[in-house]
Amino acid sequence: MRQIIALGGGSFSMEPDNPLLDLYILKQAGKEKPKICFIPTASGDADNYIARFYDFFNQQHCYPSHLSLFKPPTRDLESFILEKDIIYVGGGNTKNLLALWREWGLEHILRKAWNQGIILAGVSAGSICWFEEGVTDSFGDGLEPIECLGFLKGSNCPHYDGEVDRKPAYHQLVESKKIQAGIATDDGVAIHFKELEISKVVSSRPNAKAYNVTFEKKLIETEIPTEFLGSK
């Protein structure tokens, strides 16, 4: 079964004291100690980001590793990826992530991994990348649409409640048809896709939500039922 877990924000990098989303991701592998690989390309393989990944996942029941494209662990990236249970893509610059992945052929390897049942997950840029399009600040000034890998249909806007410009920018882009309709996610929300359909939406924050954003003569924002993973 093909699975993607797309996080609007949060996780070990933004909420180090709130492990709910990361524990949810680990649980989906259905293994006692899954192999989880962090891909921090969008951050330029920042050392402190990689360190935070290990700080958290070394304490969990899993085998953590990471893939740096600046210091590759092996020439055979396909074998390295395909032995994992979960691929976890970090945030940062989506445009640079896509450019480097295409240069290294990683987009084809990740599609193969997805088709073989390896869980693909990611936060922010690591969420946007799986959709056909996303809202990004990768170009410097303001928020713009970007074409992505297209594993999932439509567009994605992370940090919907976390950055003041995100919601109005996404609304304007959808309304003007500069970007497809799609899904917006607050910080602390994960959308779990099984095959190409939403299986579940979960959150690490009580009031965090996800929304379908469409345009039919007017902009329509529809809340998607979200399950809070913490104590009520």
Cα separation, 211 vs 145, in Å, equals 18
How deeply is 176 buried, as exposed, middle or buried, from its count of CB atoms within 10 A (0-12, 13-18, 19+)? exposed
Q: CA-CA distances (angstroms) from residue 15 to 26, 33, 48, 116, 157?
A: 16, 23, 15, 30, 19
Instruction: Record the tokens describing residue 126, joined without a space.
Output: 């690591």
pLDDT tier for residue 189 given thresholds of 50, 70 and 90: very high
The percent of residues above 70 in pLDDT, for the chain, comes to: 100
Quote the pLDDT of residue 91: 96
Dump pLDDT digits (tens) for 20-77: 999 999 999 999 999 999 999 999 999 999 999 999 999 999 999 999 999 999 999 9
Instruction: Record the tokens describing residue 74, joined without a space.
Output: 């092996």
- What SS3 string covers the chain? CCEEEEECCCHHHHCCCCCHHHHHHHHCCCCCCCEEEEECHHHCCCHHHHHHHHHHHCCCCCEEEECCCCCCCCCCHHHHHHCCCEEEECCCCHHHHHHHHHHHCHHHHHHHHHHCCCEEEEECHHHHCCEEEEEECCCCCCCEEEECCCCEEEEEECCCCCCCCHHHHHHHHHHCCCCCCEEEECCCEEEEEECCEEEEEEECCCCCCEEEEEEECEEEEEEECCEECCCC
Instruction: Record the tokens describing residue 123, joined without a space.
Output: 């936060």
Single out the residue of 207, 196, 70, 65 nearest to residue 130, CA to CA.
Answer: 196
Three-state DSSP class for residue 126: helix
Instruction: Return the higher-pLDDT residue of 198 and 15.
Output: 198
CATH value at residue 183 = 3.40.50.880
E strands, 148-217, are 152-157, 182-185, 189-194, 197-203, 210-216
Dump pLDDT digits (tens) for 151-179: 999 999 999 998 888 999 999 999 999 99
- Which of 3-7, 149-153, 202-206, 227-231 is predicted least confidently? 227-231
Quote the pLDDT of residue 154: 97
Rounded mean pLDDT of the chain?
95
Q: Does position 198 have pLDDT exceeding 70, yes or no? A: yes
- Mean pLDDT for the stretch of residues 137-150: 90
The helix (H) or strand (E) run that includes residue 3 is: strand 3-7
Is 124 part of the annotated catalytic residue set? Answer: yes
Is 171 part of the annotated catalytic residue set? Answer: no
Single out the residue of 3, 2, 45 nearest to residue 24, CA to CA.
Answer: 3
Quote the pLDDT of residue 232: 60
User: Which residue in 13, 43, 124, 138 is the catalytic one?
Assistant: 124
Q: Does position 191 have pLDDT exceeding 80, yes or no? A: yes
Residue-number span of the structural domain to which 154 is assigned: 3-228
Number of domains in the chain: 1
Three-state DSSP class for residue 160: coil
Is the whole model's pTM more than 0.85, yes or no? yes
pLDDT tier for residue 141 given thresholds of 50, 70 and 90: confident
User: Which residue in 11, 66, 138, 159 is the catalytic one?
Assistant: 159
Quote the pLDDT of residue 209: 97
